[in-house]
Structure 1
Amino acid sequence: MIAVNKPPRDSFKQRHHVAAFSVLEHFAQGLVHHARDHGGVLTEEQILKAVDSLRDQENLFDGAWSVLESDMESIKAREKAAVRHDPFGRLLVSRFEYLLEGGEAGDLEHGALSRSILQPFFKVIRMMVGMDMLQEIDGEIHAIIEAHADEDDELRDPTEYWDHLAKEPAVALRINLVFARMALHFKNYEHRKKWLMQLVNDNLPSGADNWTFTETHCILMLHALFRDVRETLSVPEHSAELVAKLGSENVATLRTVVKAIENDYAVLKKEG
């Protein structure tokens, strides 16, 4: 029997590793039984037949599927994080919320971002930051909420206290770290900007308004997302804290990325 090392802590990647490995373990056991029945030797044809025999054993994959299905439901909930009961997702969106239609930016015809961007936005966050880190910070933020609100405190309902929560230093630090990690992926700025535009447009929900995520939208959104990273880098003692967390090379990359976005934003404003 193939040994499966139990992960030290529950995480998105580790859960899926164990689930997938359990399927491989069942398959390997089947091959072992076939080998025993054929003198310890398996031919290519017998291996292929063994694979075919697994196709009809739907229950073999039930365990792995249940893990995947559960996490996919969690991801779908994150994609709809504009709903008020999701503090972490709501805080991430708050960085560029003023650019969304219906707010300060007005309507789509005047350059606002469609709210249909939320689904691809969270896909980008997952790809660049990773589910493990997102889940860890999500748990930390919920712990902070619990620690700073009494049972009868009206601020306990996240609907009522976004500004209060966002200004909590421990929360701001974690949100800033998410966007710093994200910004590092824009080292090759022009290439990554085009990649982001393509990914967002390819992943807008079906049936959404006839809207396209343009380069102008992209520049405005990046400028908003990395605002706190930019401000952190401008304060020596704060940038030193980033160096301690990310390393001097990564912080140098952040400065390059922020400057590229600032240049884009300045051109945009001049043309506007």
Structure 2
Amino acid sequence: MIAANKPPRDSFKQRHHVAAFTVLEQFAQGLVHVARNHGGSVTEEQILKSLNSLRDNEDLFDNAWAILESDLEAIKTREHAALRHDPFGRLLVSRFDHLLEGNAAGDIEHGALSRTILQPFFKVIRMMVGMDMLQEIDREIHEIIEAHANDDDELRNPSEYWDHLAKTPEVRSRINLVFARMALHFSNYEHRKKWLIQLVNDNMVHGEERWEFTETHCIRLLDALFADVRKTLAVPEHSAELVARMGRENVATLREVVKCIDADVAKLSK
């Protein structure tokens, strides 16, 4: 199940906490040693000298940097989600891949989203949902894939494979929870929409031709991302499950966010 209150023992946050605390522990031990040699007290000057001595001790930070470097590589992998090597990333993108250029939406000139949006999209997901939840759901989805794997999987058409996986109830519920958490950040809808447009445009890697993520693109993207949240809210027993997971106030917020998106979509249709 998804951790509600504290991260799992091997979470992104916990690993960095351990690494940082190890460095602080080394510093504290150095100060204790100084204090023992000076009658049990440490002056401001001695603290600064101890800090400077740590600055030159590169080995002290090797473990902390190794953990950070490993997680940065994992983030890069998420940003460049591959079809089979990153199932969680691919499943997240499946919510709006019909809007991407080359798919049902056609080309950029006719309103499709440029594929350069993928990198800022994953950045937004990390910021709004948090690495702890993302890593735990990622692990759960890998476990689901392994439990249902069979010898014919590699022979399947990739599109059919992912469509089938995305519709699996246990996978669908986890992806839905990610976007429900994301939707909560749009309680101040107009402000957050402008923030999202700016963030995406500032973080895209541009090629020869510059593409702009507009308000129209943003509305269509949000409508696609939160489509299953809307469906869940429309079914009483399903919305009750969401209340049990997220709380009544949060679900009320989700309803208001969906209303704002629906109003925007209606304006586009005029």
Normalising to structure 1: TM-score of the pair? 0.91
The CA deviation at 1:26 is: 0.7
For residues 18-57 of structure 1, the aligned pairs below 5 Å read 18-57=18-57
Deviations 1:31-71, CA, capped at 9 Å, x for gaps: 11222222222222221122111111111000000111111
Deviations 1:161-186, CA, capped at 9 Å, x for gaps: 01110111111111111111110111
Partner of 1:153: 152
For residues 50-199 of structure 1, the aligned pairs below 5 Å read 50-150=50-150, 152-154=151-153, 159=158, 161-199=161-199
Query: Which consecutive unaligned segments of at least 5 residues does structure 2 have?
Result: 1-6
> Quick one: which amino acid aligns to residue 214 of structure 2?
T
Partner-residue secondary structure (3-state), 1:161 = helix
Partner of 2:238: 238
Separation in 1 of the partners of 2:211 and 2:31?
A: 52
Separation in 2 of the partners of 1:74 and 1:208?
A: 28
Separation in 2 of the partners of 1:42 and 1:206?
A: 54
Q: Structure 1 stretch 139-148 or stretch 40-49: which is displaced more?
A: 40-49
Separation in 2 of the partners of 1:12 and 1:257?
A: 29
Separation in 2 of the partners of 1:86 and 1:231?
A: 26
The CA deviation at 1:158 is: 8.8
Q: Structure 1 stretch 173-182 or stretch 45-54: which is displaced more?
A: 45-54
Separation in 2 of the partners of 1:194 and 1:130?
A: 21
Partner-residue secondary structure (3-state), 2:238 = helix
Change (3 A) 1:193 1:82: farther
C-alpha contact 1:85 1:158 (8 A) present in aligned 2: no
C-alpha contact 1:149 1:156 (8 A) present in aligned 2: no
C-alpha contact 1:116 1:208 (8 A) present in aligned 2: no
Separation in 2 of the partners of 1:98 and 1:207?
A: 22
Number of residue equivalences: 263
> Quick one: which amino acid aligns to residue 154 of structure 1?
D
Deviations 1:80-136, CA, capped at 9 Å, x for gaps: 114332111101001111111121222222222111111111111111111111111
Separation in 2 of the partners of 1:47 and 1:224?
A: 55
C-alpha contact 1:88 1:141 (8 A) present in aligned 2: yes
> Quick one: which amino acid aligns to residue 134 of structure 2?
L
Partner of 2:266: 266
C-alpha contact 1:155 1:161 (8 A) present in aligned 2: no
Q: Structure 1 stretch 83-92 or stretch 215-224: which is displaced more?
A: 83-92
Normalising to structure 2: TM-score of the pair? 0.92
Separation in 1 of the partners of 2:89 and 2:212?
A: 23
Separation in 2 of the partners of 1:269 and 1:117?
A: 24
Separation in 2 of the partners of 1:138 and 1:117?
A: 21
Kindly indicate whether structure 1 or structure 2 has the higher relative contact order, using CA contacts under 8 Å at least 6 residues apart: 2
Separation in 2 of the partners of 1:86 and 1:264?
A: 32
